Structure 1
Amino acid sequence: MSRTHRLFQLMQHLRRLSPPVTAQHLACDMDVSLRTVYRDIDALRGLGAVIDGEAGFGFTLIEDATLPPLGFEDDELEALVLGLRDVAVIGDPALAKAAESALVKIQARVPPRQAHRLKHAILDAQRFRRPCPPTIDVGRLRSATWEELCVRFAYSDAAAQQTERTVRPLGIVYLDQNNVLLAWCLLRQDFRTFRLDRMHDLEVTGTSFRPHRVALLRQHLERIRAESCAHDAGGA
Structure 2
Amino acid sequence: MSRTNRLFQLMQALRSGPAPRTSHDLAQDLGVSARTIHRDIDALRGLGAVIDGEAGFGFTLVEDATLPPLGFTDDELEALVLGLREVQLIGDPALFEAAGSALRKLQGRLPPRQSHRLTHAVLTATRFDRPEPPTIAVAALRQATWDERSVDFAYSDVNGAETFRRVNPLSIVYMDRANVLIAWCHLRQDFRIFRLDRMRGMSVTEESFRPNRVPLLREALERIRAERTAKDRESPS
Q: Name the TM-score, length of structure 1 as normaliser.
A: 0.68
Structure 2 residue runs of 5 or longer lacking an equivalent are 1-67
Name the structure 2 match of 1:191.
Answer: 191
Q: Secondary structure at the match of 1:225?
A: helix
Matches within 5 A, 1:191-210: 191-210=191-210
Structure 2 counterpart of 1:82, one-letter code: L
Q: Does the 8 A contact of 1:81 with 1:103 survive in 2?
A: yes
Structure 2 counterpart of 1:200, one-letter code: R
Q: Secondary structure at the match of 2:125?
A: coil
Q: Does the 8 A contact of 1:151 with 1:169 survive in 2?
A: yes
Q: Specify whether residues 197 and 81 from structure 1 end up closer, same or farther in structure 2 by C-alpha distance, changes over 3 A only.
A: same
Task: Name the CA distance, whole Å, in 2 between partners of 1:175 and 1:226.
Answer: 19
Name the structure 2 match of 1:137.
Answer: 137
CA offsets 1:65-112 (integer angstroms, 9 cap, x no match): xxx765101111111011101100000111011101101110111111
Name the structure 2 match of 1:108.
Answer: 108
Structure 2 counterpart of 1:181, one-letter code: L
Poorly superposed stretches of 4+, deviation over 4 Å:
none
Structure 1 counterpart of 2:160, one-letter code: A
- Note the C-alpha offset of 1:176: 4.3
Task: Name the CA distance, whole Å, in 2 between partners of 1:194 and 1:235.
Answer: 29
Matches within 5 A, 1:31-46: none
Q: Secondary structure at the match of 1:153?
A: strand
Q: Does the 8 A contact of 2:130 with 2:176 survive in 1?
A: no
Name the structure 1 match of 2:118.
Answer: 118
Task: Name the CA distance, whole Å, in 2 between partners of 1:176 and 1:89.
Answer: 11
Q: Specify whether residues 93 and 229 from structure 1 end up closer, same or farther in structure 2 by C-alpha distance, changes over 3 A only.
A: same
Name the structure 2 match of 1:182.
Answer: 182
CA RMSD, aligned part only? 1.4
Structure 2 counterpart of 1:168, one-letter code: N
Name the structure 1 match of 2:73.
Answer: 73
Q: Specify whether residues 117 and 215 from structure 1 end up closer, same or farther in structure 2 by C-alpha distance, changes over 3 A only.
A: same
Q: Specify whether residues 69 and 115 from structure 1 end up closer, same or farther in structure 2 by C-alpha distance, changes over 3 A only.
A: farther
Q: Name the TM-score, length of structure 2 as normaliser.
A: 0.68
Q: Specify whether residues 216 and 139 from structure 1 end up closer, same or farther in structure 2 by C-alpha distance, changes over 3 A only.
A: same
What is the percentage of aligned positions where both structures have the same residue?
66
Structure 1 residue runs of 5 or longer lacking an equivalent are 1-67
Q: Specify whether residues 69 and 217 from structure 1 end up closer, same or farther in structure 2 by C-alpha distance, changes over 3 A only.
A: closer
Q: Secondary structure at the match of 1:181?
A: strand
Task: Name the CA distance, whole Å, in 2 between partners of 1:161 and 1:149.
Answer: 26
Name the structure 1 match of 2:95.
Answer: 95
Structure 2 counterpart of 1:129, one-letter code: D
Structure 1 counterpart of 2:83, one-letter code: G
Q: Secondary structure at the match of 2:180?
A: strand
Q: Specify whether residues 97 and 136 from structure 1 end up closer, same or farther in structure 2 by C-alpha distance, changes over 3 A only.
A: same
Aligned length: 169
